[in-house]
């Protein structure tokens, strides 16, 4: 079974799990339930048609949300009054659930860069809080929370012990702005966060990397300032996304920034949130993974006028054709 197959199976499990943990209205008159069920059945063909697309980029996410809502409405009726649900209705709604699960699994596969531990994630979903989220959010959004909760735990998501130190590799780059009339630059930074005190990038691997991120600095093209802002953003990511406040070790290849990283007053409060923050210099030849991340990815903010230029070139259709050809 492929990873995608596992994710689709997981999505179907999550749909059915929601019915086990979420409360439903009591003492609903059966006449009202029958009318509600008829209303859901009338929408069945439309929902199946809306989800009958070939590629993820063709999928309307609002249609997927509405299809999920319809299935959950049926699920609640079935729990309250199973006697009004015929075998034919059950088959139709199971078909809808499988179609929804297929696209939920696709979204999870496309939006989650880290492979999810199937059994651990199932356990994570088995409580009323996450079950309620299943009704409101896409599964990949819940998975992001799960990965943040478990990423910095020693020994995986089943352990309550947090790691005592993390290491960050940071790099920065300037690229030519694609729409700037006078050759303006796009300033990007990248960072890789890993568990443990890592002394060289060759120690980075799938097991210890927590996250990889690329961001844009709009206020400057000065390399030192890009690096300093990258340090701040990496620390904020640890604090906000991972609730991490222990020891942090940072490797940068900008020697000037190493001497000034803790001099900016606006960032001192952020540094003080951690047990310790140490910044060390590494030569560019030993910071290649962070460098590759920033050079192979571009983050750029467009003004409305710039975005309008993109629309004039019908970029959306060009991208659709590109991905369609790639998928063949």
Per-residue pLDDT of the chain (328 residues; tens, 9 = 90+): 788 899 999 999 999 988 777 677 766 788 999 999 999 999 999 999 999 999 999 999 999 999 999 999 999 999 889 999 999 999 999 999 999 999 999 999 988 766 787 888 888 888 888 888 898 899 999 998 888 777 776 554 444 457 889 999 999 998 887 766 666 788 999 999 999 999 999 999 877 888 899 999 977 788 889 999 999 999 999 988 888 889 999 999 998 888 888 777 667 778 889 999 999 999 999 999 999 998 889 888 877 877 777 677 665 666 666 666 655 4
The 3 state secondary structure assigned to 241-283 is HHCCCCEEEEEECCHHHHHHCCCCHHHHHHHCCCCEEEEEECC
Report CA-CA distances (Å) from 20 to 92, 130, 218. Answer: 20, 12, 48
Q: How far apart are CA 182 and CA 207, in angstroms?
A: 44
The pLDDT score that the predictor gives to residue 277 is: 93
Cα 188 to Cα 165: distance, rounded to the nearest angstrom = 26
Work out the number of other CB atoms within 10 angstroms of the CB of residue 80: 16
CA distance 34 to 187: 59
Note the pLDDT of residue 97. Answer: 96
* CB atoms inside a 10 Å sphere around CB 242: 18
Q: Which pair of tokens denotes residue 275? A: 């047990």
What φ, ψ does residue 279 adopt, rounded to 5°? Answer: -115, 125
d(CA 214, CA 294): 6
Go through the domains of the chain in sequence order and give each one's CATH number.
3-151 (no CATH), 165-312 (3.30.420.10)
pLDDT of res. 128: 83
Distance of CA 153 to the CA centre of its chain: 19
CB 290 within 8 A of CB 192: yes
Helix residue ranges, H only, the chain: 3-21, 30-50, 61-80, 87-111, 118-125, 128-136, 139-151, 223-242, 255-260, 265-271, 288-296, 304-312, 315-327
Rounded Cα distance, 225 and 116, in Å: 36
Which pLDDT score, from 0 to 100, does residue 158 have? 46
Sheet containing 185-195: order of strands: 209-217, 185-195, 165-176, 247-252, 276-281
Q: How far is CA 9 from CA 73, 147, 245, in A?
A: 21, 19, 36
Which DSSP state fits 153? B
Residue 209 CB: number of other CB atoms within 10 A?
A: 18
pTM above 0.75, yes or no: no
Q: Which residues contact 51 (CB under 8 A, 6 or more apart)?
A: 59, 63, 64, 67, 99, 100, 102, 103
Give, to the nearest 10 degrees, the angle between helix 3-21 and helix 139-151. Answer: 100
pLDDT, residue 157, reads: 47
């Amino acid at each position: 079974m492929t990873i995608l197959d596992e994710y689709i199976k997981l999505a179907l499990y999550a749909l059915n799990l929601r019915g086990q943990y979420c409360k439903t209205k009591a003492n609903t008159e059966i006449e009202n339930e029958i009318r509600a069920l008829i209303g859901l059945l009338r929408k069945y063909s439309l929902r199946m048609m809306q989800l009958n697309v070939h590629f993820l980029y063709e999928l309307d996410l609002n249609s997927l949300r509405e299809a999920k809502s319809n299935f959950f409405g049926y699920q609640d009726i079935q729990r309250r009054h199973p006697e009004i649900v015929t075998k034919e209705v059950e088959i139709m709604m199971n078909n809808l659930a499988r179609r929804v699960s297929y696209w939920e699994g696709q979204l999870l596969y496309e939006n989650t860069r880290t492979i999810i531990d199937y059994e651990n994630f199932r356990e994570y979903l088995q409580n009323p809080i996450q079950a309620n989220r299943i009704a409101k959010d896409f599964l990949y959004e819940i998975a992001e929370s799960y990965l943040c909760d478990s990423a910095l735990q020693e020994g995986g998501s089943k352990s309550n012990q947090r790691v005592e130190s993390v290491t960050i590799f940071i790099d920065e780059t300037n690229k030519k702005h694609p729409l700037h009339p006078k050759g303006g630059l796009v300033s990007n930074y990248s960072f890789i966060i890993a568990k443990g005190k890592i002394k060289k990038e060759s120690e980075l691997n799938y097991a210890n990397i927590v996250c990889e991120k690329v961001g844009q600095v709009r206020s400057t093209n000065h390399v030192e300032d890009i690096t300093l802002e990258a340090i701040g953003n990496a620390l904020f990511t640890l604090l906000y996304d991972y609730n991490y406040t222990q020891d942090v070790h940072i490797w940068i290849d900008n020697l000037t920034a190493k001497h000034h990283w803790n001099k900016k007053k606006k960032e001192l409060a952020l540094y003080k949130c951690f047990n310790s923050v140490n910044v060390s210099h590494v030569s560019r030849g030993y910071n290649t993974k962070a460098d590759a991340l920033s050079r192979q990815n571009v983050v750029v903010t467009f003004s409305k006028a710039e975005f309008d230029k993109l629309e004039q070139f019908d970029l959306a259709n060009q991208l659709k054709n590109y991905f369609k050809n790639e998928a063949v």
